[in-house]
C-alpha cells in the first residue's frame, strides 16, 4: 500500500520549468549608442533586438526546473568570487555563421579572453549540478539582430564595415535572466544578480 502511495505522489508532483540564461547586462548609455547602430541596418529585412534586451550571454540554459535555481545561483556566486570588475571594449560588427551566409549581426568584443574564462568556469560549476557543458566554440558578443533577407548584400556589407564602435563597458556583475517568449518577442526578467569582487 505504501509503495502505491509513493507512486501516486511521484506522478502528481508539479514541475515548473523556466526558460533561463546567464549573462551580462549592457549599461543604458551603451544601449543608446547601439540603437544608433541598429538604425543604420534597417535597409535589410532584419529583426532587431530591443534595446532593453541587449546583453552578453554567458550560458543559455534553456527550460530549467525551478528547483535548480538555487544551484544556478551557487554557480554564479563561485564565478563572481573569482573575478574582479574589468573593462572590455566593443570592437566591430560581425556575422553568424559568416559573411557569405548572414543570419545574425553582432558586435564583437575586443580581447574577450576574460569573458571566455568566466564562461568556462561557469560551465564547470553548472556541470556539477547536471547541466551539459557547451560543445560549440564560445564567442562573446552582443547580438544586434537576426537577418531574414538582405536585398543588396554588397551595400549592406559596405555599411556594416564602415560602422565604427569605440565604446567601453565596465563588467562588474553577472545576472540570471528568465526569458518569456511572446508574439512580439522575448521578455527578459532578472531573477538574480551577483557582483564581481
pLDDT tens sequence across 138-194: 999 999 999 999 988 999 999 999 998 989 999 999 999 999 999 888 999 999 999
Asked whether residue 179 is domain-assigned, the answer is: yes
Task: Give the domain CATH number at 105.
Answer: 3.90.1140.10
CA–CA separation, 194 and 197 (whole Å): 10
**From the candidates 18, 24, 48, 55, which is the catalytic residue?**
55
**From the candidates 141, 176, 178, 188, which is the catalytic residue?**
141
In the chain, the number of structural domains is 1
The per-residue pLDDT for 44 is 85
Asked whether residue 112 is domain-assigned, the answer is: yes
55 has catalytic annotation:
yes
Asked whether residue 167 is domain-assigned, the answer is: yes
Asked whether residue 2 is domain-assigned, the answer is: no
pLDDT tens per residue, range 72-108: 999 999 999 999 999 999 999 999 999 999 999 999 9
107 has catalytic annotation:
no
Q: What are phi and psi of 55, to 5 degrees?
A: -165, 170
> Is 90 exceeded by the pLDDT of residue 30?
yes
Asked whether residue 147 is domain-assigned, the answer is: yes
User: What is the reported pTM?
Assistant: 0.89
Peptide bond into 97 cis (omega under 30): yes
| Three-class HEC string of 37-70 | HHHCCCCCEEEECCHHHCEEEEEEEEEEEHHHHH
Asked whether residue 18 is domain-assigned, the answer is: no
What range does the domain containing 42 cover?
29-195
Asked whether residue 163 is domain-assigned, the answer is: yes
Mean of the per-residue pLDDT values for the chain? 91
CB neighbours of 171 closer than 8 A, spacing ≥ 6?
24, 85, 86, 87, 88, 114, 115, 196
Asked whether residue 68 is domain-assigned, the answer is: yes
Amino acid at each position: 500500500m505504501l509503495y502505491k502511495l509513493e507512486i501516486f505522489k511521484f506522478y502528481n508532483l508539479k514541475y515548473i520549468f523556466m526558460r533561463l540564461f546567464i549573462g551580462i547586462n549592457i549599461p543604458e548609455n551603451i544601449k543608446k549608442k547601439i540603437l544608433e547602430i541598429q538604425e543604420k541596418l534597417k535597409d535589410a529585412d532584419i529583426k532587431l533586438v530591443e534595446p532593453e534586451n541587449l546583453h552578453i550571454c554567458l550560458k543559455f540554459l534553456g527550460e530549467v526546473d525551478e528547483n535548480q535555481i538555487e544551484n544556478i545561483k551557487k554557480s554564479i556566486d563561485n564565478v563572481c568570487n573569482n573575478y574582479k570588475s574589468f573593462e572590455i571594449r566593443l570592437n566591430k560588427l560581425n556575422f553568424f555563421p559568416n559573411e557569405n551566409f548572414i543570419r545574425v549581426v553582432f558586435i564583437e568584443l575586443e580581447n574577450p579572453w576574460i569573458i571566455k574564462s568566466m564562461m568556462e568556469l561557469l560551465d564547470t560549476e553548472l556541470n556539477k549540478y547536471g547541466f551539459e557543458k557547451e560543445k560549440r566554440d564560445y564567442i562573446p558578443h552582443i547580438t544586434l539582430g537576426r537577418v531574414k533577407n538582405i536585398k543588396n548584400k554588397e551595400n549592406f556589407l559596405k555599411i556594416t564595415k564602415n560602422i565604427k564602435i569605440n565604446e567601453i563597458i565596465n563588467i562588474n556583475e553577472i545576472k540570471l535572466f528568465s526569458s518569456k517568449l511572446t508574439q512580439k518577442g522575448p521578455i527578459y526578467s532578472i531573477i538574480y544578480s551577483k557582483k564581481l569582487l
